[in-house]
Structures are given as C-alpha cells and as structure tokens.
Chains A and B, each alone.
Chain A
C-alpha cells in the first residue's frame, strides 16, 4: 500500500509541477523540451524492443 501511494503521489506531484510550469511563458518551453527529452530517453532505453517492432523476422504467429 505504501509503495503504491508513493508511486501515485510522485506522479501526481510531477504532473502538477509540469502543469504549473506550462502555465508560464518560459515554463512552457521548458516543459516542451523536457517531454521531448523523455521521448528520447524512452526510445534509447527501449531501443531493442522498439527495433523488434520493425524487424520482420521477429514477427511470428502464435500457435
């Protein structure tokens, strides 16, 4: 229970901070490029999985 509470609270705080920043003129730019940075980090950290999506040999039928 504590783990889930910390997890959800962390995400809520992070979202609230990002929304508050996005409300300002200068913060909107920062949030924009932070989101792009998150996209890049996600792609890099899951590169092998994403590469399998475009790998024809990785496709297989079940059963």
Chain B
C-alpha cells in the first residue's frame, strides 16, 4: 500500500517536472559567428596578445588598467593581511608558548614542593614538640644562671621582695639589677676597755664541807 503511494508520488513529480521545464533554447542562425567587441584574448602560453587582436578603445584600456590595479592592490592587501596574520599568529604562539612554559614550571615547582613537603613531613619526630620544648624551658629557666641566679631563682627573689628590676623597662639585662640590701646591721664590736669581771658571790662560796 505504501509502495503504491510512493510510486504515485514519483509519477506526479516527474509529470510536474516536465511541465515546469523551460522551453529549449532557440538558436539565432543569423547571428555573426565572429566575436564582436569581445575582449582580446591573450596567448595562454606566452601571455602575449594575439597578433590579430582588434584595437581596443581607450576607455576600455583604462578600465582594464584600473582592474589590473585593483587586482594588484587586492593581491597586495591579501599579502599584507597574510603577513599580518602570520605575525599575529607568531605573536600569539609566542605568548601561548610563554604562558605554557610558566604554567608548566609552576606545576613542576608545585609537584616538587609537594613531594618535598611530604618527605619532610614523613620524618619522625619522637616525643613530639613537647620534648625539646620542655628541655629548652628547663635549661632556660632552671639551669642557666644569669647574674648569679637562675631565672626561676630571680623570679622567686622578686616575688619575695628580695630583688627588683631596675626602673625603666628595657634596661639591659646584662647590667646587674639593683638588689636592695637590708639595713646595715651593727657590727659586733668589742669595747677597747674591758670591764673587769666581778666575781659574783655564790651562796656557798668558800664553804667547804
């Protein structure tokens, strides 16, 4: 059923095409066989004009010259456009090469830094940070003496009022801090003149039993 429908459509199409076909071209046999005012034909091999070319009017010669100039200008423009496009392409390629090199270098540096970071991070740290830090603090505060005392001792002396910082913060720690001295104690002295000892009478002195 469908096939017969398609065949009918094809027949209809062919009939329409035949009706729409243009009428055959009728030849004018009275027309001259030679070309009249046709453009001169150049020899395809030598590029020279045919010897039997008819003389061309001046305006047509000028028109052809202008056409040749236009073609020459067009060729020159094409050439310049090609050169410019080449230069632009080269510049673009140079920029792309540079940006690619930068991106590649950045990627390489990033990868290497990541690898070095991983290697450094994989180094064992026995005792963690607390171990060297505590040792350092012990040395700093409890073992290293400054001006005769350790820093902990200076702290204790300061807290107990036996030492104080010099006035004016920022004083050099190398200078000896002022340590307030206790009031001068009277030095025990013996008098130059000794009083004679008096013999105390004992109750039973002289008594002999």
**What number of A residues sit within 8 Å (CB to CB) of B?**
25
Contacts of B168 in A (CB 8 A): 1
Contacts of B121 in A (CB 8 A): 25-26, 28-29
Interface size grouping (class) on chain B: 20 to 34
Residue of A nearest to B171 (CB): A3
Residue of A nearest to B138 (CB): A39
Interface centre among B117, B125, B171 (most CB of A within 10 A): B125
* Cross-chain contact B143 with A50 (CB below 8 angstroms): yes
* Cross-chain contact A42 with B139 (CB below 8 angstroms): yes
Chain B residues 102 to 150 lying within 8 A of chain A, measured CB to CB, are: 116-118, 120-121, 123, 125, 128-129, 132-133, 135-136, 139-140, 143-145
Please give 10 more A-B residue pairs, beta carbons under 8 A apart, in addition to A3-B170, A32-B128, A33-B125: A1-B168, A4-B169, A32-B125, A35-B129, A35-B136, A38-B136, A39-B139, A42-B136, A43-B139, A46-B139
Residue positions of A touching B, CB distance < 8 A: 1-5, 7, 22, 25-26, 28-33, 35-36, 38-39, 42-43, 46, 49-50, 53
Would you mind naming 22 contact pairs between A and B with Cβ atoms under 8 Å apart?
A: A1-B168, A1-B170, A2-B170, A3-B170, A3-B171, A3-B172, A4-B169, A28-B121, A28-B129, A29-B123, A31-B129, A32-B128, A32-B132, A33-B125, A35-B133, A36-B132, A38-B136, A39-B135, A39-B139, A42-B139, A43-B139, A50-B143
